[in-house]
């Protein structure tokens, strides 16, 4: 099948997106792929598949490739006497800002380009960790208690140490610290405020088990990946997660009971349905004192969590045939006509 | 000052947006205004100020005017041997879909065009009435109890009659019905489902007082309009609201105590701060049994609620000088460089 991989973005996770795209190129070798790179200045480039190497971007060689603009139904390449349109379904693979904050969803919807990825509202509820908490509360999903800290405001944390400090809007562990006691707090806040003006603080739960589950809705049913228990030291730092993003070999199923697997799936479906249709997402759950807590929603997981699926290519193909389409209301001028008539009397 | 009025959109409120724009043209006669119309097919047109009449659009005459496209920092008009850029601050005046659902916010942010209006996240929490409820719950603002109904799913309403049925994502009373008893329910649902696949049901509160308050944040402080108690029969239907959108004369302050006025402002600030910066919004409150309930957030109110402000032009000018600007993270290729180096060893 044809698929356009859209990657890059003006984001702290720009490089991770490049790694994801390169990984998917290998993983989807039987697809007819188009690669579109969104540079950090928001210029789109058409990238030759043979140049899909990290060094192409770090050396700025992509700037010599064709520039694309958005037009109704397609990305457009203008040539001197002609133009080419790239209109195949897009896989939004921009992690973090631009990709996961609703921007790309809005652009693709506005220009009527079909895409795999979270819609605008789903983006908002997964990109900002505060709003994920709002969602959990509203739909009855348990999550870890939290407090919010704002830059330049007095910080009054009541959660007992150890705590975990995170920028509200970044993934990939960027700016995240575990703080064992008050002496480590200032440094952790400084680091996190480098990346965001709003932070979230949670208790660091000792002895928690973490389970990752990916899934999507297609053909009128939910489809789930295997459940993985990610290996971790305290938690994955950025560099380790970065390497993690290039994973392409299927991982082992976590050693959990069928009952727990089903409970994780039930929680996943509750988060997903009515909001994430069109996206393949990964939910990271905690199990703590036999309770399931939602830790994080990754609406565009690293390398699309391909390593969690037995047949990833088929999964993407299925999903691409079940994409929601943005409805455009038909505009009539009934009221203006009737008012003009009334005035004419 | 210079200001671009962006109006239209592929929305059920398309015509209302045209009326709003025409009203503001009169109200901001000392501004240097540019008019950009977003047609229902998502083409942008530059509209000559002298043609800012409803009939221009209902007759399709705008299609003869210059087409604009988006480029970094501006709307662009291509001419045969040159181009013009329109880069003044935009007032997003597209009501409903496209304007209030986060789409226009995302486009303007992506193309680095400054604008008055809700950002993406603020849009999501005001456009969809369910998400307004989520927000209320999370930040401790009271609102009317509600239930959600989905198209093609069994509908089990437990709220006693009379109830009010609304599409979740439309403003201007479109598709809204008051349902006195079960015999009226099916018709009300049919009407509402014409406009949206998800509905919200609330009790219809008899004897409720309604108060509208507009405001914005600028120069490090909140600024409030007067409080209006809107006249209403049962509630304003679309046609009446439509006429209402062309209001430009200042209305009378509601006859309420200073204490209530301050309580309304406190509730407004709680909704606004940290989310709606950059927008002039109108909150519609209910007062019921001495409790303040948030009924609705209008992030782009009809004709910008100009009639609630003593000096509307100054308000817009102040706000336009206090707009948040989207930060773009600087992209370095540190990780790719360090990995390339490690591999080279």
Tell me, rounded to whole angstroms, the distance of Cα B84 from its chain centroid: 29
Which 3 state secondary structure label does DSSP give A106? helix
Question: Which one of B130, B239, B340 has the shortest CB-CB distance to A55?
Answer: B340
Which band of pLDDT confidence, cut at 50, 70 and 90, is reported for residue A250? confident
Which band of pLDDT confidence, cut at 50, 70 and 90, is reported for residue A98? very high
Q: How far apart are CA A33 and CA A166, in angstroms?
A: 36
A134 plus A250 within the same structural domain: yes
Residue A329 located in a structural domain? no
Residues whose CB is less than 8 angstroms from the CB of residue A183 and which lie 6 or more positions away in sequence, other chains included: none
Determine whether the interchain pair A12/B329 forms a contact, defined as Cβ–Cβ distance below 8 Å: yes
Which band of pLDDT confidence, cut at 50, 70 and 90, is reported for residue A200? very high
| Average pLDDT for B40-54 | 97
Calculate what percentage of chain B has a pLDDT beyond 70: 93
Which band of pLDDT confidence, cut at 50, 70 and 90, is reported for residue A246? confident
Is the C-alpha dihedral spanning B293, B296, B299, B305 positive or negative?
Answer: negative
Residue A341 located in a structural domain? no
Which band of pLDDT confidence, cut at 50, 70 and 90, is reported for residue A235? low
Question: Which one of B109, B134, B336 has the shortest CB-CB distance to A138?
Answer: B134
At residue B243, the pLDDT reads: 64
pLDDT greater at residue B80 or residue A41: A41
Residue A175 located in a structural domain? yes
* Both structure tokens of A125: 């509820």
A284 touches chain B (CB under 8 A): no
At residue A331, the pLDDT reads: 87
Give contacts of A335 with chain B, Cβ < 8 Å: 15, 238-239, 242
Q: Domain of B314: which CATH number?
A: 3.30.470.20
What global pTM score does this model have? 0.94
B50 plus B198 within the same structural domain: no
B54 touches chain A (CB under 8 A): yes
A112 plus A213 within the same structural domain: no
Q: How far apart are CA B214 and CA B272, in angstroms?
A: 10
Give contacts of B274 with chain A, Cβ < 8 Å: 150, 198
From the number of C-beta atoms within 10 Å of its C-beta (0-12, 13-18, 19+), residue B262 rates as exposed
A78 plus A138 within the same structural domain: no
Cβ-Cβ pairs closer than 8 A, A with B, add up to: 150
Residue B22 located in a structural domain? yes
Q: pLDDT digits over B263-320, tens only?
A: 999 999 999 999 999 999 999 999 999 999 999 999 999 999 999 999 999 999 999 9
Residue A97 in contact with residue B329, Cβ under 8 Å?
Answer: yes
Q: pLDDT digits over B99-141, tens only?
A: 999 999 999 999 999 999 999 999 999 999 999 999 999 999 9
Q: How far apart are CA B68 and CA B36, in angstroms?
A: 8
Residue B120 in contact with residue B131, Cβ under 8 Å?
Answer: no
B300 plus B189 within the same structural domain: no
Residue B116's alpha-carbon distances to B59, B89, B93, B216, B281, in angstroms, are 29, 7, 9, 10, 10
Residue B86 in contact with residue B34, Cβ under 8 Å?
Answer: yes
Residue B332 located in a structural domain? no
At residue A345, the pLDDT reads: 42
Please say if the pLDDT value at position B59 is more than 80. yes
Please say if the pLDDT value at position B345 is more than 50. no
Calculate what percentage of chain B has a pLDDT beyond 90: 81
Determine whether the interchain pair A110/B98 forms a contact, defined as Cβ–Cβ distance below 8 Å: yes
Q: How far apart are CA A158 and CA A147, in angstroms?
A: 8
Q: How far apart are CA B123 and CA B121, in angstroms?
A: 5
B108 plus B161 within the same structural domain: no
A179 plus A278 within the same structural domain: no
Q: How far apart are CA A119 and CA A274, in angstroms?
A: 11
A137 plus A272 within the same structural domain: yes
* Both structure tokens of B34: 């540019």
B87 plus B219 within the same structural domain: no
DSSP structure class, residue B89: P
pLDDT greater at residue B333 or residue A14: A14
At residue A170, the pLDDT reads: 77
Count of positions (residues) in chain A: 345
Is the C-alpha dihedral spanning A67, B115, B17, B62 positive or negative?
Answer: negative
Residue B94 located in a structural domain? yes
Residue B109 in contact with residue B327, Cβ under 8 Å?
Answer: no
Q: How far apart are CA A125 and CA B113, in angstroms?
A: 25
Residues whose CB is less than 8 angstroms from the CB of residue A213 and which lie 6 or more positions away in sequence, other chains included: A224, A225, A227, A228, A264, A265, A268, A282, A283, A285, A308
Q: Which domain covers residue A311, as residue numbers?
A: 123-142+207-320
Helix (H) or strand (E) run with residue B266 in it: helix B258-272
A121 touches chain B (CB under 8 A): yes
Which band of pLDDT confidence, cut at 50, 70 and 90, is reported for residue A164? very high
Place of tokens 């226009």: B104
Residue B89 in contact with residue B2, Cβ under 8 Å?
Answer: yes
B133 touches chain A (CB under 8 A): yes
Please say if the pLDDT value at position A343 is more than 80. no
The DSSP-derived string for B17-74 is: HHHHHHHHHHHTTTSEEEEEEE-TTS-EEEEPGGG-SHHHHHTTGGGGSPEEEEETTE
- Tell me the Cα Rg of chain A: 22
* Both structure tokens of B189: 């649902």
Q: pLDDT digits over B189-239, tens only?
A: 999 999 898 999 999 998 899 999 999 999 999 999 999 998 765 455 556
Shortest CA distance from B9: residue in chain A: A331
| Average pLDDT for A42-51 | 98
Number of folded domains in chain A?
A: 3
Q: How far apart are CA A107 and CA A193, in angstroms?
A: 29
Helix (H) or strand (E) run with residue B129 in it: helix B129-139
A336 touches chain B (CB under 8 A): yes
At residue A6, the pLDDT reads: 98
Mutate: best of B171, B196, B331, B334, partner A, most A CBs <10 A: B331
Could you give the dihedral angle defined by the CA atoms of residues A259, A260, A261 and A262, in that order, rounded to the nearest 10 degrees?
Answer: 50
Determine whether the interchain pair A124/B120 forms a contact, defined as Cβ–Cβ distance below 8 Å: yes
| Average pLDDT for A252-271 | 96
The per-residue b/e assignment along B277-304, b for 16 or more CB within 10 angstroms, e otherwise, is bbbbbbbbbbbbeeebbbbbbbbbbbbb
At residue A7, the pLDDT reads: 98
Tell me, rounded to whole angstroms, the distance of Cα B34 from its chain centroid: 20
Q: Domain of B190: which CATH number?
A: 3.30.1490.20
Q: How far apart are CA B237 and CA B264, in angstroms?
A: 25
Q: How far apart are CA B196 and CA B191, in angstroms?
A: 9
Question: Which one of B54, B103, B335 has the shortest CB-CB distance to A109?
Answer: B103
Q: How far apart are CA B6 and CA B8, in angstroms?
A: 7
Mutate: best of A99, A103, A130, A199, partner B, most B CBs <10 A: A103
At residue A237, the pLDDT reads: 59
Shortest alpha-carbon distance between residue A11 and chain B (Å) = 6
B108 plus B176 within the same structural domain: no
Shortest CA distance from B68: residue in chain A: A71
Mean pLDDT over the full length of chain A = 92
Residues whose CB is less than 8 angstroms from the CB of residue A10 and which lie 6 or more positions away in sequence, other chains included: A38, A40, A41, A42, A97, A98, B328, B329, B331
Q: Last residue of some domain: B73, B100, B117?
A: B117
Which band of pLDDT confidence, cut at 50, 70 and 90, is reported for residue A335? confident
B12 plus B96 within the same structural domain: yes
From the number of C-beta atoms within 10 Å of its C-beta (0-12, 13-18, 19+), residue A150 rates as middle
Q: pLDDT digits over A112-151, tens only?
A: 999 999 999 999 999 999 999 999 999 999 999 999 999 9
A72 touches chain B (CB under 8 A): yes
Residue A325 located in a structural domain? no
- Tell me the Cα Rg of chain B: 22
Shortest alpha-carbon distance between residue A256 and chain B (Å) = 33
At residue B298, the pLDDT reads: 96
| Average pLDDT for B48-61 | 96
Give contacts of B150 with chain A, Cβ < 8 Å: 274
A138 plus A273 within the same structural domain: yes
Count of positions (residues) in chain B: 345
ipTM over 0.85: yes
Q: List the alpha helices (DSSP H) in chain A.
A: 14-27, 54-58, 103-110, 120-127, 129-139, 185-193, 238-244, 258-272, 312-320, 334-344
Residue B330 located in a structural domain? no
Please say if the pLDDT value at position A20 is more than 80. yes
Q: How far apart are CA A265 and CA A252, in angstroms?
A: 17
Mutate: best of A95, A274, A328, A343, partner B, most B CBs <10 A: A328
From the number of C-beta atoms within 10 Å of its C-beta (0-12, 13-18, 19+), residue A288 rates as middle
B253 touches chain A (CB under 8 A): no
Q: How far apart are CA B205 and CA B162, in angstroms?
A: 8
């Amino acid at each position: 099948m044809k698929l356009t991989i859209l990657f890059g973005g003006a984001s702290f996770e720009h490089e991770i997106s490049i790694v994801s795209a390169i990984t998917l190129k290998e993983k989807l070798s039987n697809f007819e792929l188009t690669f579109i790179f969104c540079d950090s200045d928001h210029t789109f480039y058409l990238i030759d598949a043979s140049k899909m190497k990290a060094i192409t971007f770090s050396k700025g060689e992509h700037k010599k490739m064709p520039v694309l603009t958005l037009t109704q139904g397609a990305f457009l390449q203008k040539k001197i006497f002609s133009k080419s349109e790239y209109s195949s379904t897009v896989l939004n693979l921009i992690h973090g800002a631009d990709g996961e904050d609703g921007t790309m969803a809005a652009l693709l919807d506005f220009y009527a380009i079909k895409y795999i990825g979270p819609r605008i509202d789903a983006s908002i509820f997964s990109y900002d960790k505060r709003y994920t908490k709002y969602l959990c509360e509203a739909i009855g999903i348990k999550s870890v208690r939290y407090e919010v800290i704002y830059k330049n405001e007095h910080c009054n944390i009541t959660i007992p140490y150890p705590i975990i400090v995170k920028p509200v809007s970044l993934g990939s562990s960027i700016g995240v610290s575990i703080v064992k006691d008050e002496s480590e707090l200032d440094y952790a806040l400084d680091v996190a405020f480098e990346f965001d003006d709003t932070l979230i603080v949670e208790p660091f739960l000792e002895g928690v088990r973490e389970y990752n589950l990916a899934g999507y809705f297609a053909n009128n049913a939910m489809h789930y990946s295997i459940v993985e228990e990610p290996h971790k030291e305290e938690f994955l730092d950025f560099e380790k997660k970065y390497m993690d993003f290039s994973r392409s070999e299927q991982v082992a199923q976590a050693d959990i009971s069928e009952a727990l697997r089903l409970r994780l799936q039930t929680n996943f479906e509750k988060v997903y349905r009515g909001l994430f249709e069109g996206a393949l997402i990964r939910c990271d759950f905690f199990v703590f004192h036999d309770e399931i807590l939602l830790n994080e929603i990754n609406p565009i997981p690293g390398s699309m969590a391909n390593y969690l699926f037995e047949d990833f290519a088929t999964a993407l193909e299925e999903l691409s045939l079940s994409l929601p389409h943005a409805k455009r209301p038909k505009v009539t001028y009934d009221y203006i006509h009737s008012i003009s008539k009334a005035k004419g009397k």
